[in-house]
Amino acid sequence: MNLICRAALATAATMAVLAATTVAFAQSAALAPAGDSLTEGFQTPPESAKPRTWWHWTNGNVTEDGITKDLEWMKRVGIGGFQLVDVASGNGQVVEPKINFGTEEWYHAVRRSAELAKRLDLEMSIFSCAGWSEAGGPWVKPEMAMKKLVWSETAIAGPAKFADKLAQPPSNEGPVRDSGAGAGPNAPHFYRDSAVIAYRTPAEEVPMASLHPKVTTSNGPIDGAALMDGSLQSAVTIAAPKDGSPAWLQYVFEKPYTVRALSLGSRGRIPVGRILASDDGVKWRVIEITPGPQGYHRRSSFASSSIEWDSHRRR
């Protein structure tokens, strides 16, 4: 009734190969010195050497008869244990009535699994992660949930005494900084202060936006302010060229500019691309290749590169 992870089936096939190998060891056992733990381990593998498998309960399609059949099969083929993974997704056989997460029937089914696993000498564990069902839900309050480190920056011309309010760091749910990618429409906000750090800005550090670079794309010039405001909520759209050539984004500076990192965000997935630099707009050198497709944000750090003509070009 329940879906067994495909890796478990592959493991069972591997065990068949090991079983055949064991026969060879058994035939030559007389040649092995007495007390040879390596040979004995192959002849009679300890419980710790047996494979474990994920055991998915998908969309409530669980029955106690299916539980019994699954665990007895695991024991029969030599699997040493399992990790119960309840997920509100996936495909497989559909049963009625369903046993949904958190119900009285669900707890009874989990207890039944634990009792049978103990009788069969199978190791049992439960997958617990906020991305699935066991550790995530409305009963987990924001202050107890997983968190990310966020920050804000305030530039001050000194020497001077500063008594104003610092800029508020992001408080939204999301993978990084102020990106709301993957967050629900009514996701809660949460923020607590952690530390205030003051340091002297290196003399050579100049905000990119203050240089007012000319921003162009494969579709022509654009207003690049949204790309230099420090927010992952603002963005520009660059349509793919109709001729199938790569889309690109380019910054042109009037004087040399030293680049040490590039932060790239996307509301979809970050595609395969390249970060290039040029001193004359003709000859280009590759700084980094973005592997793609990736998540919603990627920060690339590299050896500082002083660029005479162009800062970033992505193809």
* 152 pLDDT higher than 60: yes
Q: Does domain 208-314 have CATH number 2.60.120.260?
A: yes
When the pLDDT of each residue in the chain is averaged and rounded to a whole number, the result is 79
Report d(CA 218, CA 240) in Å as an integer: 8
**Stretch 140-147: mean pLDDT:** 83
> What pLDDT is recorded for position 299?
75
The neighbour count for residue 260, using CB atoms within 10 Å, is 11
> Which tens digits make up the pLDDT trace of 157-172?
888 888 999 999 999 8
pLDDT category of residue 208 using cuts at 50, 70 and 90: confident
* 128 pLDDT higher than 80: no
pTM attached to this predicted model: 0.54
Higher pLDDT, 300 or 221: 221
pLDDT category of residue 135 using cuts at 50, 70 and 90: low
- Answer for the pair 116, 67: CB distance below 8 angstroms, yes or no: yes
3-state secondary structure 110-128: HHHHHHHHHHHCCEEEECC
- Answer for the pair 198, 151: CB distance below 8 angstroms, yes or no: no
pLDDT category of residue 132 using cuts at 50, 70 and 90: low
pLDDT category of residue 192 using cuts at 50, 70 and 90: very high
* 3 pLDDT higher than 90: no
Strands of the chain (E only): list them.
3-4, 52-58, 81-87, 123-126, 214-217, 220-221, 249-252, 257-265, 273-278, 284-290, 297-307, 310-314
Identify the CA nearest to 300 among candidates 267, 268, 277: 277
Report d(CA 129, CA 239) in Å as an integer: 37
Interacting residues of 312 by C-beta distance below 8 A, sequence separation 6+: 249, 250, 251, 259, 262, 275, 276, 277
Report domain extents, the chain: 3-126, 141-201, 208-314
Structure token digits, residue 14: 């591997």
**Stretch 202-210: mean pLDDT:** 85
What is the number of helices (H) and of strands (E) in the chain? 4, 12
* 301 pLDDT higher than 60: yes
Report d(CA 269, CA 256) in Å as an integer: 32
- Answer for the pair 60, 98: CB distance below 8 angstroms, yes or no: yes
> Which tens digits make up the pLDDT trace of 44-97?
888 888 999 999 998 899 999 999 999 999 999 999 999 998 887 777 789 999
Identify the CA nearest to 277 among candidates 293, 297, 260: 260
State what percent of residues in the chain have pLDDT above 90. 32
> What pLDDT is recorded for position 18?
27
